[in-house]
C-alpha cells in the first residue's frame, strides 16, 4: 500500500465544479467551504470524487453560473458517471468532506453548513451509506481518494487569509453575469 504522501503525488486534482472517476489513479481536491463527496464501488474497485461550491442551483440565480458548481448537479454527474462505468447504486459507499466556515457569509447563512447538510441529505435520499465524514469547522481540507481501496484521507489545514480571500473572490465572480462580447457568428 502506498502512503497518502505517495498517493498525493500521483493524484488527479479536481477543481470546483469538477468530478473525476478512476480505477487506478488517486483523486484529490482542496476544500474550504466547498464539499467533496467520494463514491466507491467495492466490487469494481472504482471511485469518484466531486467538488461543489453551492448546494443547489436556484432558478433565480445567475443564469450564467456553471451548474456543476452546484451540489444538485455535481452529485448527479458523479453518480451517473459511476453508473456508466458499471457501478451499481446498491453497492456504492459514500464519504463526505469540507463545508468549513471559511467564507463567513455569502447569503447570511454559512455556505459551508448548507453544503454539508445538502451532501448528507442527498446521500440519504439516494440510499448511499455515508461511511465517513469530516464536515464543518473552521478548517480548510485536502482530500485524497484511493480508488483501489476506497480509502479517503483528509488533512485539515488552518484557514489562512489567502484561502478565504480566494474563495470570496471566486464566489463573487459567480454572482456577476459575464460581460457580453461583441462576437458575430457567420
SS (H, E, C) the chain: CCCHHHHHHHCEECCCCCEEEECCCCEEEEECCCEEEEEEECCCCEEEEECECECCCCCCCCCCCCHHHEHHHHHHHHHHHHHHCCCCHHHCEEEEEECCCCCCCCCCCCHHHHHHHHHHHHHHHHCCCEEEEEECCCEEEEEEECCCCCCEEEEEEECCHHHHHHHHHHHHHHCCCCCCCCCCCC
What band does 56 get if pLDDT is binned at 50, 70 and 90?
A: confident
What band does 106 get if pLDDT is binned at 50, 70 and 90?
A: very low
Does 65 score more than 60 pLDDT?
Answer: no
CATH class of the structural domain 4-174: alpha beta
Q: Indicate the domain borders of the chain.
A: 4-174
Percent of the chain exceeding pLDDT 70 equals 74
Task: Say which residue, 68 or 123, is predicted with more confidence.
Answer: 123
What band does 69 get if pLDDT is binned at 50, 70 and 90?
A: confident
Amino acid at each position: 500500500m502506498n502512503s497518502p504522501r505517495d498517493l498525493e503525488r500521483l493524484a488527479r486534482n479536481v477543481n470546483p465544479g469538477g468530478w473525476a472517476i478512476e480505477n487506478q489513479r488517486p483523486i484529490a481536491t482542496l476544500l474550504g467551504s466547498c464539499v467533496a463527496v467520494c463514491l466507491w464501488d467495492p466490487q469494481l474497485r472504482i471511485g469518484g470524487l466531486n467538488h461543489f461550491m453551492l448546494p443547489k442551483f436556484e432558478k433565480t440565480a445567475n443564469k450564467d453560473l456553471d451548474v456543476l458548481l452546484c451540489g444538485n448537479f455535481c452529485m448527479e454527474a458523479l453518480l451517473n458517471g459511476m453508473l456508466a462505468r458499471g457501478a451499481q447504486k446498491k453497492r456504492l459507499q459514500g464519504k463526505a468532506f469540507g463545508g468549513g466556515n471559511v467564507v463567513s457569509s455569502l447569503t447570511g447563512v454559512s455556505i459551508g453548513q448548507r453544503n454539508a447538510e445538502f451532501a448528507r441529505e442527498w446521500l440519504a435520499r439516494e440510499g448511499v451509506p455515508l461511511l465517513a465524514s469530516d464536515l464543518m469547522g473552521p478548517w480548510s481540507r485536502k482530500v485524497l481518494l484511493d480508488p483501489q481501496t476506497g480509502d479517503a484521507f483528509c488533512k485539515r489545514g488552518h484557514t489562512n487569509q489567502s484561502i478565504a480571500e480566494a474563495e470570496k473572490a471566486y464566489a463573487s465572480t459567480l454572482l456577476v453575469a459575464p460581460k457580453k462580447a461583441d462576437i458575430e457568428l457567420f
